[in-house]
Structure formats: C-alpha cells, structure tokens
Amino acid sequence: MRLSEVPKIAQWEVASDRAGVLAGQLAQLNKDLVDLVAEILETDAWNGEGFRSPEHWLMVLCAVSPSRARDLVAVARRRGQFPLLEEKMAAGTVSFDQMTVVARHVPVSHADSVALFVEAATVPQLRRALSKRVYEGPVPDPGSESDTDRSAEEHPVAPLADQCSSLHMGVVDGRFRLTFEADPLEGALVEQAVREAKDALFNTGNTDATLADGLVEVASRSLGAVESGSRRDHYKVFIHLEADGTGWINKKGALPQHLLRRFTCDGKLRPVWLKKGSPVSVGRAMRIVPDRTRRLVEDRDGGCRFPGCPVTMFLENHHLQHWRDGGATDIDSVVSLCPKHHSQHHQGLFGIDGNPSRPDGLVFRSRYGWVYRPRIPDPVPPPDHRPPDPQPMRGWVMGYSIDFPPDLPEVRPAV
C-alpha cells in the first residue's frame, strides 16, 4: 500500500513501521556481508588478478564506495569480539553504521559495556561518545614489513663502524638486485626519502604501494628533475628493439615479452640505423604517445580505468592494440592504467576490450573469462531471514563524551 492511500493522520506511523522493517532487514543483510568479508580475509579469497586489497574487491563486486568498503573490512576484522552486538545485528536492532563506530573506537575489554546502549543511540551520538578512543588493532605478525618500524629499544643500535657506505647493484637471474649499507644517519636519510615517496604514492590512490615502489619513485623524481638535456639523455634507460619482436636493455641482456610490450606501450622511441651490424646514424627521439594525445587521454579517463582502482596520478598510457601489432596511437586506442594494472595486463592476468571513449565502453576480463563487475543476480532473491525485531527508539540525550576507565566496566550514557 502506498502512503498516499493511507489516511493523513496515519501516514507517519505507517511510514515509521515500514522504515523500521527495512532498517532491520538491512542490518541483517549487512551482517551477512560482514561475515562474508571476514571469511575472505581469513582465506585470502579476495586475492585475485587485478585486485589491490579486500576493499578493492568489495568496490568491484559489490559496487560500494571506497569508504563503505573500508568500513566493511574494519568491522569484519573484529568479528567475534562483540558477540552481544553481533547477535543484535543479526536480529536487526543494531545497524551496520552503529557497528562501524564501535569497531573503530572500542577495545575488547569494554565490549559488554558498550552493548548495553549502542542500539538506543544514533550514529552521531555514538561518534561523540566513543571518539576519545581509537582502536589500534592487533600487533603485526613477525616478519611483516611493519617490523622495520619497531622502536630502537627492540633493535639496539650497534656502535658506528669506521666503514664507508657501500652500494652493490646488478642483474642476477633476470632480476635487478640492490644492496645498500651505510652508517645509521645516512641510512635514516635514505629511509625517510623512500618512505616519503611511498606515502606520496599512497596519497594519490596507490594504497598498496610498497617501500620498493617508493624507491622506484625516488629514482623517477631524480631523473625527472635533471635540467640539462645532455645530462638527462646520458642517464636514460634504453631498450633495444629488434624487427623480430625481441629486445634487450643495454649491457643487461634480453627482456621477457610481457615487460618488453609494457615498456614500449609508453615512452620515447629513437631509431638507430645499422649497416652490417654496426650503428651508423641515430634519429630524433619521438614519444610513443604524443604529449597532446597523452593530455587528452588522461583528462578523459581521470585515473586508472581498471574497475574500482583509485589511482589518479603516475599513470601510464596503454595501447589496446600494441603499436608494434599495427595499433593506432590516438585517443580511441589508448587508455590510462596505473603501473600495477599495466604490468598485470601485460603479464596476461586480464584482458581489455572495447571503446575507451565511452565511460562504460571498456570490458576487463580475467584470464579465466569472467568480467570485473558486480555479480548481482537477476532477479535478486528475497531475504531469507526471519522478520527483524522491532526497532528501538533512538536518540538519548547526552551532553558530554563517555569515557571508559578500566575500573568502571559498566558505564552507561546519561539520559
């Protein structure tokens, strides 16, 4: 029955009852989604080709916003720590948004205390009441990258040795290896530069940037800042291309095909003419993707075109059909990808088809054949939960933030 068919005097009550039922059903369904996210975190089932994180998996397959995806993962990581609230959420009386505030601010030691009043509070009230605390999460597992951030007390500093700094680098078994050793002061300087570059990548949307990515970014910045043309050319990395499709780096050996095709998607070409195997002339450098085309493509795309990818800077231009295979270099044939997804595409982890000039014109398909998009059935089956419990009247009066001292486990809000 539509509200317009209800007598005016009863419309508020009918609308309120209907809203309560829908709110309860949403809470129950969100509880199911949280349980699923907890399972994919435990099993690492989200980690398929192209996905940066569990949040990215949710953005693509569930069509949720980045903030919603982060909230789902935050609540899922704490599943089992708030059994009373989880029961209320399954019954439909505690919403997902209420649970998100609890997951971000309440330690396990106060789980029962908070459960006494959460369902009677609005989300803004919970934020004001619980915002004095921030849940820090578990201690990192040994061996993780964050171990490098431990305090000096955990890693006592040895006396400084009277040795010069040393750096060794080279290609071993097809992989570039670098070893650097210095005194603690110089080491700290290098570390901070790498971490700053890593954070800059993170802030532009590359949320899974590593310290290795930060080091590459430091190198890119350094070469990009060289003003002298002759000096800049002296320190370029040159890839030699043969007519048969092979290629190599000067003094470093042959490149695998997926790397060769990726790096020749974008960059500059400089022809070298050979006579009897010896170079006799060098032509002018030409951009594979001209600057004008690059600006048009990046302005059109606004960031990496892989579904759900948040990266908007440090983009690379990818030819849908490689220019060495006869593909054109124009805005209808070139698409913006972040370095991670550009690399994964050339490794064969997913394919790209379609028209990049349309917002919905590209189809990204995994190597197993399924398309990266929300997997929502048609028609959507109805919820199979029992009817939710009646919704509580929310909005208790509170003029101050609630603190939870350790000696007062049963703190309740003032009414």
In the prediction, which pLDDT does 287 show? 56
Least confident of 88-92, 154-158, 406-410: 154-158
198 close to 213: Cβ distance less than 8 angstroms: yes
- Joined tokens for residue 270: 């400089």
Q: Coil, strand or helix: which one is 134? A: coil
pLDDT tens, position by position, 348-394: 899 999 998 888 889 999 888 888 887 777 676 777 777 777 767 66
355 close to 332: Cβ distance less than 8 angstroms: yes
- What is the DSSP code string of 167-220? EEEEEETTEEEEEEE--HHHHHHHHHHHHHHHHHHHHTT-TT--HHHHHHHHHH
- Joined tokens for residue 400: 């101050």
In the prediction, which pLDDT does 266 show? 63
In the prediction, which pLDDT does 184 show? 66
pTM of the predicted model as reported, rounded to 2 decimal places: 0.61
In the prediction, which pLDDT does 400 show? 44
Task: Return phi, psi of residue 338, to 5°.
Answer: -75, 160
**Burial (0-12, 13-18, 19+ Cβ within 10 Å), 214:** buried
Residue 79 has pLDDT above 70, yes or no: yes
Q: Coil, strand or helix: which one is 143? A: coil
166 close to 183: Cβ distance less than 8 angstroms: no
- Check residues 318 and 116 and name the one with the higher pLDDT: 318
131 close to 401: Cβ distance less than 8 angstroms: yes
pLDDT tens, position by position, 80-110: 999 999 999 998 889 999 999 999 988 888 8
pLDDT tens, position by position, 167-181: 888 777 677 888 888
- Check residues 59 and 288 and name the one with the higher pLDDT: 59
Residue 194 has pLDDT above 70, yes or no: yes
* One-letter identity of residue 134: V
Rounded CA-CA distance 50/350 in Å is 7
CA within 13 Å, CB half, 360: 1
Per domain, the residue ranges of the chain are 12-130, 163-228, 239-366
CA within 13 Å, CB half, 412: 8
Say how many C-beta atoms besides its own lie within 10 A of residue 263's C-beta.
19
Q: Using pLDDT thresholds of 50, 70 and 90, give the confidence band for residue 55.
A: very high
Q: Using pLDDT thresholds of 50, 70 and 90, give the confidence band for residue 71.
A: very high
* One-letter identity of residue 125: Q
pLDDT tens, position by position, 212-257: 988 988 888 887 665 555 544 544 566 666 666 677 666 566 677 7
